[in-house]
Homo-oligomer: A and B are copies of this chain.
């Protein structure tokens, strides 16, 4: 069931947090598709992992994504190249909440070197359970899909 599907990927700097979050999400019975990386011993370019995740979400628009690099910044640049993605770098509860309520984020970007596992779990929970507010934010979110 796509509503339950979480696609997760990282570069080497995000590997450990990705593994921890992936195990956590599986324990909550989410359908987790882990696109790697599978080691932190080999450097991997974050744009390539973001691209892999974007292609999956293009075919499965109800799935949600989590992307992790060192700070989350590289991933947030890369994933927002795609007009069907709203990728939010969240770093505390307020930004995770507003990313859903105002921006209808479908990808959460996290920093493996900036956000510890306990915080990442909290932000992920908020990201996965907070509804979009709609209303005045609806038009802006539509504009995000149509930028030229």
**Assuming A89-B73, A89-B89, is B99 touching A136 (CB within 8 A)?**
no
Inter-chain contacts of A140 with B (CB < 8 A): 45-47, 74
A77 part of interface (Cβ distance < 8 Å):
yes
Q: With contacts A70-B98, A77-B87 known, what are 12 further pairs, Cβ within 8 A?
A: A47-B143, A48-B143, A51-B147, A71-B99, A71-B102, A73-B88, A73-B90, A73-B95, A74-B102, A77-B88, A78-B147, A80-B87
Name the CB-closest residue of B to A13: B102
A83 part of interface (Cβ distance < 8 Å):
yes
CA distance in complex: A102, B98 (Å): 27
- Residue numbers of A with Cβ under 8 A of B are 43, 45-48, 50-51, 70-71, 73-74, 76-78, 80-83, 86-91, 94-95, 98-99, 102-103, 105, 111, 114, 136, 139-140, 143-144, 147-148
Closest 7 CB pairs of A and B: A80-B80, A47-B143, A81-B147, A73-B88, A45-B140, A89-B89, A77-B80
CB distance from A98 to the nearest CB of B (A): 5
Q: Is the CB of B70 within 8 A of A102?
A: yes
